[in-house]
Amino acid sequence: MDHLPAPSNPSAPLPEIPYLCEEEPYDDGDFLTYPARIGVPQLSSVETAIILRAWESKNPLGDKEVEEFLQTWLFFGLLHEVLGKHGLYDVKDHVEGDEEGRKSVHTRKLMVRLRRWTEILRSWDEMEKAKELRHLQEYLILAREGHYLVLADHHSKCNRAVVWSLSVILETLASAIDLAFVGPTREVTVSTVRTEFSEDETQHRLRNGWCIHEVLAAQKEFSSNIAKFYLLRMRKPDLGLDHGDCGADSCKKLQIDLPTYRPRHITEGCNCDWAGPTPREVAECLQGDTFPVLRITGDALGDVRIEVVPYVEGMVYVALSHVWADGLGNPAANRLPRCQLLRLKKLVEDVRGGKIVHVVDDGVKQAPEAPLFYPDPARQIFIWCDTICCPVQATSNPLPLEELMALQSKAIARLRQVYQQASHALVLDRSLEEIDFHSIDRVEAAVRVYTSRWIRRLWTFQEGGIAKRLLIHFRDAIVDHRTIWAAVHHDAAEKPEANTISLRRHLTTHCFNLRSWFAQKNASIDFRGPVWSLCWRRVSVPTDEALCLAAAYNLDMNAASAQPKDQRMQEVWRQLVATSRGISAFIIFNALPRLSAPRFRWAPSSILQTVKRGDILEFVFRNVEDESGSLTSSGFRVNYSGWRIRPCGPPGSFPHGLVSTNEPDRHYLRDAEGHWYSVWEHKELRPGRNVRLNHLWDEGRGGGNRQWHIILDVCHKDQETVGRRGLVTTSEPREGEQTIHHSEMVV
């Protein structure tokens, strides 16, 4: 795995991959028929590849046998198949021995060979290339089937170095084929099987500074094998936090407890007093349609002063985007320790230009060679920090409660404006501030930003996305996000390499969702990007989620913040339905927890995902070409076909063995034309409120008078009906009353 990118100061050396093919090295024959040559069933074509798994489940190989078989076939056999015919493969290129005669596998020469291979292929004519591509795709499908064997549960004790080496070699070759045939932005080859972390590997990461929530969320976002292997070896700085109580779905060290939260001093043991404006001073800056900004003066703890001034057009200010758990918040007063104020003042001076790293031509240069942003030292640069600029009640001279609440709503409603008009947003996150930017490469800087504590906070999404320029504070420099963007995007496009392209693709997605999405004004833009970027983030006050969504989607913040807290989410959905993009009718099939308010029972109550449920999110926002629903006085109106269903006897005409009788969640429906449908009830339904298909059978026996229908997410039966989603609905006529409708279930 020597050919892979690695983080600086990795948490573990590259594992040694034992060479297992000493006795029976790859015979340099055809890749497809290798299993047959050693006694595994005949694979006559790629269509029959699936028999490999079925065969192995009946004739289980020992762990050693499967490792040996797959290293020979998938590692050496595939390299031989891809590179051999061009004279670019020799087994000796990838095997070395130590003094004791132990042999191991390495990939130090792989990238040179692959670059040469790409050059050769690019010189071929289109016909030859198309033929070769078909051939390689077929072999990759087969390799994927082979790879499944080692990932099966009964082989969980296999040597992890061997497992990873297979995972990353297949992905590297698939990427190389993509790059050689279609370029860096498209993928035509077969996807490779995703290798998940073992329990030991997860524990290794926890010991190296990761929180379990970070591990699991990052695993969703950096899903390729090469990216995962990178993360496996990436250390997080030691912040002295004990994540022992953190759960899969949330890091307790990032959630704050408002009643007990206290701002931190810069250094342990500092005891300086706090300073800040009075609530009245902050309130005065929120008059009209402006907001407060801060001027910090003084050079020592004794003389540091902070004043609020109302923002007027033309002022330059840096808006902070910080992780509250790091100690720069204060829910009890608009005040911060003086040592923190001095630090903020210094940071803003750095933003003036002296410490910003940004891209100049192709390389990275550090100011002062690069032009200063604001060279005139007389030019005041102000700060905006939510802790001081959003009004909080004070113990002395408190504001009347009603006035305070109105001011708080006003301040929230202006958050979008605050970040839009800031000259820069500055990211402050202890996990990044412990890293020297100049000691890591730019890909690592990007990985660190996109796995940071800051990226896991909900509020920071819009803060980072809206600002004209986004700066990130590392220990030794303030870095312009464009520097990072250039590394992951432009370099990936101009100098794509098979060993980094999958990692760069994840980073590009992150960059797009964080920054570019906000810059796009296209009314038809896909809603899903930000949703994917938001769903693993967390917020300490759950009702803030609606406000964050409203800010991200540029909705009417005044209307959202004016609602009672428990009704903000329905206001967000109401506004989203009314946007020119609308909400896809498909949302009725989502299996997320829903709002309970009338007219909004189709709407998810949250888009934040638990690690377990994450894959369900795609059903919320579908493709832009989907039809939208409309919100009427009785609810969300959509147009789908439905079929009435009635209970009948068990299917009698099925071939023996096709109908499973021991799965309580599975049912069989037959339409009037005699087609059978296998219906599987979704497991993750809200407990207690389900309309179960089993009830239909009970009612059939008991003579119930409800009508049952099934609504499928396709309007025409001749469309693909495999893996469709549906709702089962019931209607219950009541004498002298309205019919009650229930639509409860995803199947």
Task: Give least dist CB 252 to Zn ion, A.
Answer: 6
Start-end of H helices in 156-198: 160-181
Which residues is 636 bridged to in the sheet?
631
How many beta carbons lie within 10 A of that of residue 349, not counting itself? 13
Return the range that interacts with Zn ion (CB under 5 A); candidates 172-180, 332-340, 450-458, 642-650: 332-340
Return the range that interacts with Zn ion (CB under 5 A); candidates 37-45, 209-217, 666-674, 738-746: 209-217
- Assign 3-state DSSP to the chain and report helix, strand, coil percentages, each to 5: 40, 15, 45
Task: Give least dist CB 376 to Zn ion, A.
Answer: 31
Which is nearer to Zn ion, 213 or 228 (by Cβ)?
213
- DSSP for residue 109: T
Distance CA 225, CA 476 (A): 31
Which is nearer to Zn ion, 182 or 248 (by Cβ)?
248
Task: Give least dist CB 339 to Zn ion, A.
Answer: 3
Residues 56-115 interacting with Zn ion (rule: CB under 5 A): none
Task: Give least dist CB 355 to Zn ion, A.
Answer: 22
Which is nearer to Zn ion, 272 or 332 (by Cβ)?
272
The verdict on 243 binding Zn ion (CB under 5 A) reads: yes
Return the range that interacts with Zn ion (CB under 5 A); candidates 237-245, 426-434, 644-652, 729-737: 237-245
Q: Are strands 363-366 and 356-360 parallel, antiparallel or unpaired?
A: antiparallel
Task: Give least dist CB 213 to Zn ion, A.
Answer: 6
Task: Give least dist CB 253 to Zn ion, A.
Answer: 4
Return the range that interacts with Zn ion (CB under 5 A); candidates 73-81, 243-251, 359-367, 597-605: 243-251
Which is nearer to Zn ion, 218 or 638 (by Cβ)?
218
Distance CA 407, CA 151 (A): 57
The verdict on 205 binding Zn ion (CB under 5 A) reads: no
Which is nearer to Zn ion, 265 or 295 (by Cβ)?
265
Size of the residue set binding Zn ion (CB under 5 A): 10
Task: Determine the 3-state secondary structure of 161 from DSSP.
Answer: helix
Output the CA–CA distances (angstroms, integers) from residue 556 to 122, 463, 466, 519, 711, in the order listed: 52, 17, 15, 18, 34
Which is nearer to Zn ion, 36 or 270 (by Cβ)?
270
Return the range that interacts with Zn ion (CB under 5 A); candidates 122-130, 205-213, 403-411, 438-446: 205-213
Task: Give least dist CB 241 to Zn ion, A.
Answer: 7
The verdict on 211 binding Zn ion (CB under 5 A) reads: yes
Task: Determine the 3-state secondary structure of 679 from DSSP.
Answer: strand
Which is nearer to Zn ion, 267 or 738 (by Cβ)?
267
Task: Give least dist CB 448 to Zn ion, A.
Answer: 17
Start-end of H helices in 474-624: 481-485, 491-494, 501-511, 517-519, 528-534, 544-552, 557-562, 568-578
Residues 267-306 interacting with Zn ion (rule: CB under 5 A): 270, 272
Task: Give least dist CB 274 to Zn ion, A.
Answer: 9
CA angle (203 as vertex; 198, 206 as ends), nearest 5: 130
Please enumerate in sequence order all residues whose Cβ is within 8 A of that of 428, keeping only pairs 6 or more positions apart, or say none.
320, 321, 322, 323, 326, 328, 347, 454, 473
Which is nearer to Zn ion, 197 or 636 (by Cβ)?
197
Task: Give least dist CB 245 to Zn ion, A.
Answer: 8
Task: Give least dist CB 551 to Zn ion, A.
Answer: 26
Look at phi and psi of residue 715 and say left if phi exceeds 0, alpha if psi is from -120 to 50, else beta: alpha
Return the range that interacts with Zn ion (CB under 5 A); candidates 246-254, 521-529, 653-661, 689-697: 246-254
Task: Give least dist CB 510 to Zn ion, A.
Answer: 21
Which is nearer to Zn ion, 300 or 378 (by Cβ)?
300
Task: Give least dist CB 251 to Zn ion, A.
Answer: 3
Which residues is 381 bridged to in the sheet?
316
Which is nearer to Zn ion, 250 or 321 (by Cβ)?
250
Is residue 707 within 8 A of residue 730, CB to CB? The reply is: yes
Output the CA–CA distances (angstroms, integers) from residue 355 to 139, 365, 370, in the order listed: 51, 11, 10
Which is nearer to Zn ion, 138 or 433 (by Cβ)?
433
Rounded to 5 degrees, what are φ and ψ at 66? -70, -40
Which is nearer to Zn ion, 254 or 407 (by Cβ)?
254
Output the CA–CA distances (angstroms, integers) from residue 502 to 5, 8, 440, 735, in the order listed: 11, 19, 19, 62
Site string for Zn ion, 250-269 (x = CB under 5 A): -x-x-----------x----
Task: Give least dist CB 341 to Zn ion, A.
Answer: 9
Which is nearer to Zn ion, 235 or 666 (by Cβ)?
235
Distance CA 507, CA 673 (A): 50
Site string for Zn ion, 10-39 (x = CB under 5 A): ------------------------------
Task: Give least dist CB 243 to Zn ion, A.
Answer: 4
Given 174, 246, 546, 585, the residue binding Zn ion (CB under 5 A): 246
Which is nearer to Zn ion, 246 or 712 (by Cβ)?
246
Is residue 104 within 8 A of residue 1, CB to CB? The reply is: no
The verdict on 594 binding Zn ion (CB under 5 A) reads: no
Is residue 480 within 8 A of residue 514, CB to CB? The reply is: no
Identify each DSSP E strand in 330-463 by its residue range.
336-337, 356-360, 363-366, 381-384, 424-428
- DSSP for residue 126: H
Extract the tokens encoding 470.
Answer: 């986004």
The verdict on 327 binding Zn ion (CB under 5 A) reads: no
Task: Give least dist CB 235 to Zn ion, A.
Answer: 16
Rg (CA), the chain: 30
Given 184, 209, 337, 529, the residue binding Zn ion (CB under 5 A): 337
Site string for Zn ion, 338-377 (x = CB under 5 A): -x--------------------------------------
Which is nearer to Zn ion, 134 or 305 (by Cβ)?
305
Is residue 74 within 8 A of residue 24, CB to CB? The reply is: no
Please enumerate in sequence order all residues whose Cβ is within 8 A of that of 513, keeping only pairs 6 or more positions apart, or say none.
529, 530, 532, 533
Distance CA 303, CA 296 (A): 10
Is residue 557 within 8 A of residue 547, CB to CB? The reply is: yes
Which is nearer to Zn ion, 276 or 337 (by Cβ)?
337
Return the range that interacts with Zn ion (CB under 5 A); candidates 203-211, 401-409, 563-571, 655-663: 203-211
Task: Give least dist CB 323 to Zn ion, A.
Answer: 12
Which is nearer to Zn ion, 251 or 487 (by Cβ)?
251
Distance CA 508, CA 486 (A): 10
Return the range that interacts with Zn ion (CB under 5 A); candidates 47-55, 222-230, 241-249, 657-665: 241-249
How many beta carbons lie within 10 A of that of residue 82, not counting itself? 23
Residues making contact with Zn ion (CB under 5 A) = 211, 243, 246, 251, 253, 265, 270, 272, 337, 339
